[in-house]
Amino acid sequence: MAEDASRGTAVVTGASSGIGAEYARRLAADGSAVVLVARRADRLARLAGELRERTGSAVEELVADLSRPDDLHRVAERVAAADVTLLVNNAGISGYGPFAETDAGLLAKVLAVNVMAPTLLTRAALPGMLARGRGAVVNVASLLAFAGSLPPDPLPQRAVYGGSKGYLVTFTRTLAAELAGTPLRVQALCPGLTATEFHLSTGAEPVAGDPGQVHADGGMPAADVVTASLAALRTGETVCVPGLADAAAVDLLAAAELGIRGAAGGPLAARYRPGR
């Protein structure tokens, strides 16, 4: 775990299963106190009991639906507390489906959970972290953030989900540049298909039943995703892609962006001129 985020309290959203639960297990085992945030009280209680018994770490349960403003406010208040040294914005829902046919209320919920919640929780966390000179934020995005032009099948129908994860990547990278020169670290974690229950629900309602379910398509174990994230925090990688063998691909992306931004303030491109 990153030195600037150790021996404090870690707040993990979406902690009731999958990647979030793995973060909680790893961080508690490393000696951090952990605040578990999720909608399902029964699962949080079960995980909290497991962590207390196995690690002896202090564990809090904070039942909240981050699509609800009042719940988000309660979590933000906890995130702003002086003991918090790590925030893991892991909660997310998919809202998969054809854009023109998917319920507008579900799409609004995707934006609330995937965009508004991590933005406001990060805003709640940073002032105190900056004042104390230590802390880190992990925003769990997705490789689908980089899949905008690819058609569905085998990828899901994902216009709003992909857009929300693209926001998280851009937000995190830009924030990292803003925080350069401070002790704080921020990371956009971009896993590919992961062996969790994520694809068992569009997110309108949480998956029912016992924890530990895995969708039929398999994928990388959630524990490996978390291993990559925590290693990347130590080395200072802003964009962590657990399955990417050559990290230079991220540098190539930045170089391509620089080339596109080179058009700022330039003359009108020839292909857009009248008569072409």
Q: Where does residue 159 fall: left (phi above 0), alpha (psi -120 to 50 degrees), or beta otherwise?
A: alpha
Report the C-alpha gap between 247 and 237 in whole angstroms: 9
Residue 23 contacts by C-beta under 8 Å, 6 or more apart in sequence? 10, 12, 15, 88, 90, 226, 229
Q: Which of 23, 96, 161, 167 is catalytic?
A: 161
The SS3 assignment for 106 reads helix
Question: What Cα–Cα distance (Å) separates residue 252 from each residue in 146, 247, 249?
Answer: 13, 9, 5
Report the C-alpha gap between 20 and 140 in whole angstroms: 10
Output Rg (C-alpha) for the chain, integer angstroms.
19
Report the C-alpha gap between 86 and 6 in whole angstroms: 8
Annotated active-site residue 161? The verdict is yes
Give per-residue burial for 100-123: e unless 16+ CB within 10 Å, then b: eebeeebbebbbbbbbbbbbbbbe
Phi/psi of residue 161, each to 5°?
-60, -50
Residue with tokens 């099948």: 153
Q: Report the catalytic residues.
A: 161
